[in-house]
């Protein structure tokens, strides 16, 4: 196998996944937020809240479609660039993917259209149920993808037969502990992405004194979700770290930069390190004694195995080769992810505290700070992706299939050209998404004649509610 086809196929898969993952958590979390907001509007019979729902729904719509189109690429890539992988795991891996389509994609695409275009044709409670179906669909979709990925990290419910992994228990695949932990992490992460976007947009309009009474509601709802989301991310992340010690010790050792198994009974935790792959040790490491044991095992006297010892064990088990993942990116990505998780939780708690003090809507410094926060969960997701996906290399299916044996026999030129094409298109998409989201979010709510849109023209004026015009939204 040509090494370059492998390297570029890996790069293509990694980057198209990361680009895709820029939109997906936003869609998953945002659907839940909108469903909650519309429920509030329905229960209170508030036309104003209904208008607010339409406003955020417009933003959701813009983002949703980019998530959809980048998602198709993900599915086709398995066959296009990873033929041997598809052959090896199709029996198992294909099932959650097919289930995702059957249980989620049809649901989302059909009921999102019904929700958005059909709001005047059906009763309000029916319309409300549509957005809940969309929200459920997005979560179900995330669940199945995580289950598929979890199987690659922690294969269960299979036997090997004729060079293929053959399914023996779908129940085991579905209840893979790794998959359940990750689902919790991914779903709370998605809530966080949406929540920080919502509170930034709401804070912006409150600062500009635009529809303050309305945006106050979304700010508060967003803050509650931000606190629950980032709290959930921290807790589920911690649980995952502890299970990594057991089922992917190499990954754990890599993100801890733990080269040698500690001689003492306990384990310290490195805060800052300069790992050196060439020398198999850290050139520098600032460590807190006992903290490693505490984080990994909830006690002060247990230790994990180091990279060098694990490498020796794997050589014995699987034959000669290098089984240590690239330590540097994994170690630092992990620390960035954890750090941002902390910042997000503190930001959410700070907001709740301001709310309790009755100062939330006038805390202009805090509201300004919120404007940069939508970037934080995305950066954390990116780092988390690096940690978990580079951390399991050189395996594509842990212990069963090496990444280099999974790739398609493709001419290098094909991969080069498709890689360039995907990059150009995806960069354009991200640019357009950010441009349109910012533009629509800043414009706020306007009567239909000011909105340029045609078919899905968002009409934020419902009922007889008076609408204030603030500029033309194109400043």
Partner 1 sequence: MSEAVLWFWLVTACFAVYFFLEGFDFGVDLLRPFLAKNEAERRALIQTIGPFWDGNEVWVILAAGAIFATFPAWYGALLTGMYPLFTLILLALIGRGVAFEFRAQVDSRAWRIFWDVTSFAGSLIPAFAWGLIMAALVQGLPIGEGGRYQGSVLSYVTPFTLFGGLTTTLLFMLHGATFLLLRLHKQGELHARARRAALFWGALATAAVLGFVYLGYVRDELFKNFGLGSWVLPGLAALTLAGIWLSLRLARDGLSFAMSGLTIVLSVVTVFLGLFPNVLPSTLSPSFNLTISNAASQPYTLHLMTIVGAVFLPLIVGYQAWNYYVFRRRIAVDDKKAGAAH
Give min distance, CB of 45 to partner 1, in A: 24
Name every residue whose Cβ is closer than 8 Å to that of residue 457 and which is 6 or more positions away in sequence. 448, 451
How many residues touch partner 1 under the rule CB under 8 A: the total is 75
Q: Do 296 and 241 contact (CB within 8 A), yes or no?
A: yes
Q: Do 129 and 135 contact (CB within 8 A), yes or no?
A: no
Using CA atoms, how far residue 403 sits from 88, 125, 407, 464, in Å, is 12, 49, 7, 61
Q: Between 55 and 255, whose beta carbon lies closer to partner 1? A: 55
**In this structure, what token pair is assigned to residue 180?**
């359940």
Torsion of the alpha carbons at 463, 469, 474 and 475, rounded to the nearest 10: -150
Site for partner 1 in 121-160 (CB under 8 A): 121-122
Provide DSSP, 437-472: HHHHHHH----TTT----TT------TT------S-
Site for partner 1 in 433-472 (CB under 8 A): 436, 439-440, 452-457
Q: Between 121 and 356, whose beta carbon lies closer to partner 1? A: 121
Candidates 92-100, 205-213, 362-370, 463-471: pick the segment binding partner 1 (CB under 8 A). 92-100
Candidates 48-56, 318-326, 385-393, 421-429: pick the segment binding partner 1 (CB under 8 A). 421-429
Site for partner 1 in 12-31 (CB under 8 A): none
Give min distance, CB of 410 to partner 1, in A: 6
Distance CA 130, CA 352 (A): 31
Under rule CB under 8 A, residue 167 binds partner 1: yes
Site for partner 1 in 98-117 (CB under 8 A): 98-103, 105-107, 109-114, 117
β-pairing, 269-276 with 281-288? Answer: antiparallel
Q: Which of 43, 124, 166, 427 binds partner 1 (CB under 8 A)?
A: 166
Under rule CB under 8 A, residue 286 binds partner 1: no
Give min distance, CB of 166 to partner 1, in A: 5
Under rule CB under 8 A, residue 427 binds partner 1: no
Site for partner 1 in 66-85 (CB under 8 A): 66, 68-70, 72-73, 75-76, 78-85
**In this structure, what token pair is assigned to residue 153?**
């990290």
DSSP code at position 210: S
Give min distance, CB of 105 to partner 1, in A: 5
472 CB neighbour count, 10 Å cutoff:
9
Q: Tokens 């310290």 identify what position?
A: 268
Give min distance, CB of 106 to partner 1, in A: 5
Q: Between 107 and 135, whose beta carbon lies closer to partner 1? A: 107
Cα end-to-end span (Å), the chain: 54
Using CA atoms, how far residue 194 sits from 48, 56, 59, 218, 222, in Å, is 21, 11, 11, 12, 8
- Closest of 406, 241, 434, 408 to residue 330, by C-alpha: 241
Under rule CB under 8 A, residue 89 binds partner 1: yes
Site for partner 1 in 378-417 (CB under 8 A): 408-410, 414, 417
Q: Between 55 and 78, whose beta carbon lies closer to partner 1? A: 78
Under rule CB under 8 A, residue 168 binds partner 1: yes
Give min distance, CB of 15 to partner 1, in A: 14
Q: Tokens 């508060």 identify what position?
A: 220
Q: Between 209 and 454, whose beta carbon lies closer to partner 1? A: 454
Binding mask 324-363 for partner 1 (x = CB under 8 A): ----------------------------------------
């Amino acid at each position: 196998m040509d090494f370059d086809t492998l390297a570029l196929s890996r790069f293509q898969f990694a980057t198209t996944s990361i680009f895709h993952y820029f939109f997906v958590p936003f869609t998953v979390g945002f659907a839940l937020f909108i469903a909650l907001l519309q429920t509030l509007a329905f229960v209170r019979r508030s036309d104003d809240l209904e208008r607010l729902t339409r406003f955020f729904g417009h933003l959701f719509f813009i983002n949703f479609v980019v998530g959809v189109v980048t998602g198709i690429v993900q599915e086709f890539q398995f066959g296009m660039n990873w033929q041997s992988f598809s052959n090896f795991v199709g029996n198992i891996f294909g099932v959650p993917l097919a289930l995702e389509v059957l249980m989620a994609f049809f649901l989302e695409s059909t009921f999102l259209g019904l929700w958005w275009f059909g709001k005047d044709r059906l009763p309000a409670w029916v319309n409300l149920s549509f957005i809940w179906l969309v929200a459920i669909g997005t979560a179900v979709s995330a669940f199945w993808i995580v289950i598929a990925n979890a199987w690659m990290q922690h294969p269960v419910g299979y036997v090997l037969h004729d060079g293929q992994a053959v399914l023996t228990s779908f129940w085991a695949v579905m209840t893979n502990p790794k998959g359940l932990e990750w689902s919790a992490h991914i779903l709370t992460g998605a809530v966080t992405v949406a929540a920080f976007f919502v509170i930034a947009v709401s804070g912006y309009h409150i600062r500009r004194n635009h529809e303050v009474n309305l945006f106050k509601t979304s700010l508060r709802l967003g803050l509650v979700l931000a606190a629950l989301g980032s709290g959930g991310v921290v807790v589920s992340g911690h649980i995952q770290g502890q299970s990594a010690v057991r089922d992917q010790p190499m990954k754990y050792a890599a993100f801890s930069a733990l080269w040698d198994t500690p001689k003492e009974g306990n384990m310290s935790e490195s805060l800052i390190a300069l790992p050196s792959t060439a020398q198999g040790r850290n050139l520098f490491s600032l460590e807190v004694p006992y903290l490693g044991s505490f984080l990994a095992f909830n006690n002060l006297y247990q230790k994990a195995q180091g990279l060098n010892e694990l490498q020796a064990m794997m050589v014995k088990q699987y034959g000669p080769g290098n089984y240590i993942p690239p330590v540097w990116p994994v170690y630092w990505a992990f620390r960035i992810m954890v750090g941002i998780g902390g910042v997000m939780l503190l930001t959410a708690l700070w907001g709740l505290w301001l709310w309790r003090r009755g100062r939330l809507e006038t805390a202009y410094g805090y509201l300004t700070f919120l404007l940069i926060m939508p970037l934080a969960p995305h950066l954390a997701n990116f780092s988390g992706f690096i940690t978990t996906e580079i951390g399991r290399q050189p395996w594509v299916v842990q212990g069963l299939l090496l990444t280099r044996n999974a790739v398609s026999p493709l001419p290098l030129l094909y991969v080069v050209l498709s890689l360039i094409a995907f990059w150009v298109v995806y960069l354009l998409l991200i640019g357009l998404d950010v441009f349109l989201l910012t533009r629509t979010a800043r414009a706020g709510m306007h009567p239909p004649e000011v909105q340029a849109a045609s078919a899905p023209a968002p009409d934020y004026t419902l009922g007889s509610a008076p609408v204030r015009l603030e500029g033309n939204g194109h400043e």
